[in-house]
Amino acid sequence: MRRVEIIANIASGSVQTDARQVAERLLAEHGITGTVHTPEGGTLIEVLRRAIDTAPDAVFIIAGDGTARAAAEMSGPDGPPIAPLPGGTMNMLPHALYGDRTWPVAMAECLERGVPKMVSGGEISGHLFFVAAILGSPALWADAREAARAGQFRLMTLRAQRALKRAFSGRLRFSLDGRPRQKTEALTLTCPLVSDELDNDARALEAAALDPASAVDVLRLGLSALAGTWREDPSVSMGRCRTGRVWARGHIPALLDGEPVRLGPSVQIRFRPKAFRALALPE
């Protein structure tokens, strides 16, 4: 690499105020030309667009999940490789690509030996995701999880009660790859990048229908979601899909790569074999 662009959102969850100085030091140590941007206010996406349009050898993102997803979607399969470094709360895409590395360690290793890698993903009615999507009321449990992580247990309880109240009030109907229609409480879609069941070069999404039969099952599923063990829950059925449709009586709550999204009452699902190029580390 000869020239890179770096966007550091110092207002994000875990980006320190000295991010610019640290990034500039890493560039100098590796002899690479680069510009470090620390956008303020509502200019983040505008700065990101300009950085990608300059066609650098790579664009480093030190920010949260929403910015990482926006950068990957904006660059696409033909733009410069994106290096989404951990700078938020959940860091889903950075963790999938770089494991538990801190952003300075991941950046240094990418500058030393990073290689472009085509990453597949999914699309839900124009919204892209590259790690996982959750559609339906269990998506609301993410708010409870974040409160638990922050040690705000009263807030966690209130949010868990809200998620429990929403259960069964808006069940989803879905059809995957033209198969018969089914009903479920929620549908999760996992990309090959992180799926334990799919190879990285698989040309499909891993789909899981979460269909608890009672309030007790919903509570158990919510707790397993907090612990990250929902796959083992007996109310979960697994499969694969390339296309699909999901609909409900009202708006569908969703999480796309950890970011909440409010979808319409009917959405289309599509697997994207070439979603964007990531700056990855050799395996």
**Tokens standing for residue 265:** 């009452």
pLDDT (mean) for 47-65: 95
In this predicted structure, what is the pLDDT of residue 142? 66
Return the closest-CA partner of residue 67 out of 255, 263, 259, 254.
259
Is 248 in contact with 171 (CB distance < 8 Å)? yes
Measured CA to CA, the distance from residue 237 to residue 225 in angstroms comes to 15
> Which of 55-59, 183-187, 218-222 bottoms out in mean pLDDT, i.e. has the lowest?
218-222
Task: Give buried/exposed letters for 116-139 (b at 16+ CB in 10 A, else e).
Answer: ebebbbbbbbebbbbbbbbbbbbb
pTM above 0.75, yes or no: yes
Residue carrying structure tokens 């410069």 = 80
Whether the predicted pLDDT of 272 surpasses 70: yes
In this predicted structure, what is the pLDDT of residue 168? 47
In this predicted structure, what is the pLDDT of residue 37? 96
**Which is more confident, 138 or 78?**
78
Whether the predicted pLDDT of 138 surpasses 80: no
pLDDT (mean) for 163-190: 80
In this predicted structure, what is the pLDDT of residue 208? 85
Q: What are the pLDDT digits (tens) for 60-101?
A: 999 988 899 999 999 999 999 999 999 987 888 999 999 999
pLDDT (mean) for 202-224: 68
Domains of the chain: 3-113 (3.40.50.10330), 127-274 (2.60.200.40)
225 band by pLDDT with thresholds 50, 70 and 90: low
Measured CA to CA, the distance from residue 197 to residue 203 in angstroms comes to 12
Whether the predicted pLDDT of 240 surpasses 70: yes
pLDDT (mean) for 211-239: 59
Averaged pLDDT of the chain: 85
Sequence-separated (6 or more) residues with CB below 8 Å from residue 225: 138, 141, 145
**Which is more confident, 136 or 202?**
136
State the burial class of residue 260 (Cβ atoms within 10 Å of its Cβ: 0-12, 13-18, 19+): middle
pLDDT (mean) for 23-39: 96
pLDDT (mean) for 256-269: 90
Question: Percent of the chain having pLDDT more than 70?
Answer: 80
